[in-house]
Amino acid sequence: MAIDHDFDPEATLKLFGIHAPETDETYLYFTESNVTSDFIADAIEDLWMSLENQDAIHTIVINADNGPENSGRRTQFIKRIVEFADSKSIDVNLAYYPPYHSKYNPIERVWGVLENHWRGELLDSVDKAIGLAKTMKWNGKNPIVKVVDKVYETGVRLSKNAMKKYEDAITRFKGLENWFVDVLCFGQ
C-alpha cells in the first residue's frame, strides 16, 4: 500500500522574501506563525539593521505585490512603515505592482529558482527546508535565510481615528492611490 500525501508534518513554514536589486542580495524569512503586516515590517527592520551604509540612505523604495498583508490600505502595515520611517529618519516609497503583473517583480523569479532547487525533495523537517533554502543560488549568491520565532496575530488593524495620525504622514498621489504611497518621516 502506498500513501501519496504527507501527514503529520513537524511544522508548517511560511515564507516572505526580499530581493535588493542594488546589491543582488536575497533575504528569506521563515516563520511557523502567520505572515502578517507585523511580520513583514519586522523583516524590513531586520534587513535595515544589516545594511552597512544606513547613514547614506535617505529614501528606500519597496516594490510590493499589494497583497493583503502589505497593501497600501492595510492600516497596521502603514502604521508600522510610518513608524519605521520616523525611527530611521528616512522616507519610504511604497510602489505596488498591479494585479497579474508579478512577472515584473524580481522576488517572483527568486521563488521560481527556489522551487526548482527544492524539486523532488521531501521537505520533511524544518532543518531540511531551511538548509535547502540556504544552498539555493540566485545569480551566483546564496540567500540570507532567517527563521523568525515570534508569534504574529492576524486581523490587527487601526480604527479610523487612530489611523488619522499615520495618514497625515503619507501622500497618496491622485490616480495612483492604490499603487504608490510616499511615507515621509515625521521629522521632515
C-alpha cell of residue 116: 526548482
Q: How confident is the model at residue 62 (pLDDT cuts 50, 70, 90)?
A: very high
Whether the predicted pLDDT of 30 surpasses 60: yes
Q: What's the pLDDT score for residue 7?
A: 62
So what's the architecture of 14-49+57-183 in CATH? 2-Layer Sandwich (3.30)
Rg of the chain on CA atoms, in Å = 18
Residue 37: helix, strand or coil by DSSP? helix
Q: What is the average pLDDT score of the chain?
A: 89
Q: Where do the H-state alpha helices sit in 70-138?
A: 75-88, 106-118, 126-135
Contacts of residue 4, defined as CB under 8 A and 6 or more positions apart, other chains included, come to: none
Give 10-28 pLDDT, tens digit per residue: 788 999 999 998 889 999 9
Give 148-182 pLDDT, tens digit per residue: 999 999 999 999 999 999 999 999 988 888 889 99
Q: Domain residue spans in the chain?
A: 14-49+57-183
Q: What's the pLDDT score for residue 1?
A: 47
